């Protein structure tokens, strides 16, 4: 049974299982990247196998693409799909207005493109991702390699005049070198502590030469599905005001994804 999972992983799985019910045969679906999104892919794979669910998916990273193919989900590119019925993805933080910080898993650029090319975005998360104000989680900013030190300096100078608690921008590292995104770029993680005006920050960051995209998702998320360690799931639709709480009974499932970030 799912009792063998940690409370956080049970919460992620519960949220993913609840969100998978939004997916219907014939849909074109964006698949996010990260630990919670990986649970979703597994849940959809089970539905493909057991129910004959017929969907076409657009993955937001090479990792998600590999997992989707592994569990039997047909994948395509966004250029081929053109427009999606919905995207389901995780988040590193979300606030009461369902604004998000994303990019902990390093796929924020493709995630934002796919999410904005969808009729709806559903976010799945465990309860620890809910915050009153964004900013405790470092904000990822994808930048090109050319002039990266200058871009970093410009970002820190910009932050000094904005309503944030910190201004430090650190290059993301992996295996002793700079992290490289699927698009061949790098990521600066901004340690802000608190973001007083997320909408303003999202706009001004993208005006800096060298910045490709930032991890603030403003007015993109439509539905939040929040899982809890006891199996309860809260769902909130910001457009309709609909809210409900259900309990998801998890089957036994291998804990394969606890080391990934959203």
Distance from C-alpha of 23 to C-alpha of 84, rounded to nearest angstrom: 12
**Residue ranges of the chain assigned to CATH 3.40.50.1360:** 2-129+219-247
Are 239 and 139 contacting, i.e. CB atoms less than 8 angstroms apart?
Answer: no
pTM: 0.93
* Partners of 213 in beta bridges: 142
Catalytic residue among 46, 69, 97, 111: 111
Structure-token pair, residue 120: 């709806």
Q: How many of the other CB atoms lie within 10 Å of CB of 237?
A: 16
90 is annotated as contributing to ligand binding: yes
Q: Is 160 annotated as a binding residue?
A: no
At 23, phi and psi to the nearest 5? -90, 130
Q: What is the mean pLDDT of residues 154-178?
A: 96
Write out the residue limits of the CATH 3.30.70.260 domain(s) in the chain.
139-212
Which pLDDT value is given to residue 104? 97
Q: How confident is residue 169, by pLDDT bands cut at 50, 70 and 90?
A: very high
Residue 91 assigned as binding residue: yes
Q: How far is CA 69 from CA 29, 57, 255, 258, in A?
A: 14, 10, 19, 20
Q: Annotated binding residue at 229? A: no
* Residue 96: both structure tokens together: 């009461």
pLDDT above 60: residue 259: no
> Does 111 participate in catalysis according to the annotation?
yes
Predicted pLDDT of residue 251? 43
Cα(194)–Cα(19) distance, integer angstroms: 29
**Which among 167, 111, 175 is positioned nearest to 139, based on CA atoms?**
167
Look up the CATH number of domain 2-129+219-247. 3.40.50.1360
Known binding residue 17? Answer is: no
Is 256's pLDDT higher than 60?
A: no
* Architecture of domain 139-212 in this structure: 2-Layer Sandwich (3.30)
């Amino acid at each position: 049974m799912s009792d063998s999972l940690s409370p956080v992983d049970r919460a992620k799985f519960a949220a993913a299982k609840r969100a998978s019910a939004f997916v219907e045969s014939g849909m074109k679906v964006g698949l996010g990247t990260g630990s919670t999104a990986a649970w979703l892919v597994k849940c959809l794979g089970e539905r493909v196998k057991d129910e004959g669910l017929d969907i076409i998916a657009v993955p937001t990273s090479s990792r998600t693409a590999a997992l989707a193919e592994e569990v039997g989900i047909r994948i395509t590119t966004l250029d081929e799909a053109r427009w999606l019925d919905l995207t389901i993805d995780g988040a590193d933080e979300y606030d009461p207005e369902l604004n998000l910080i994303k990019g902990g898993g390093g796929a924020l650029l493709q995630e934002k493109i796919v999410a904005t090319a969808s009729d709806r975005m559903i976010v799945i998360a465990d309860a620890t991702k809910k915050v009153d104000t964004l900013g405790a989680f470092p904000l990822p900013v994808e930048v090109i390699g050319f002039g990266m030190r200058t871009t970093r300096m410009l970002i820190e100078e910009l932050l000094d005049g904005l309503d944030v608690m910190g201004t430090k921008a650190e290059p993301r590292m992996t295996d002793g070198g700079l992290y490289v995104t699927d698009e061949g770029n790098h990521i600066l993680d901004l340690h802000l502590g608190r973001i007083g005006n997320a909408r303003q920050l999202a706009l001004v960051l993208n005006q800096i030469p060298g910045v490709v995209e930032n991890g603030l998702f403003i007015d993109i998320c439509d539905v939040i599905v929040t899982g809890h360690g006891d199996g309860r799931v809260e769902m909130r639709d910001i457009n309709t005001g609909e809210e409900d709480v259900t309990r998801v009974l998890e089957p036994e499932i291998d804990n394969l994804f606890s080391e990934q970030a959203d």
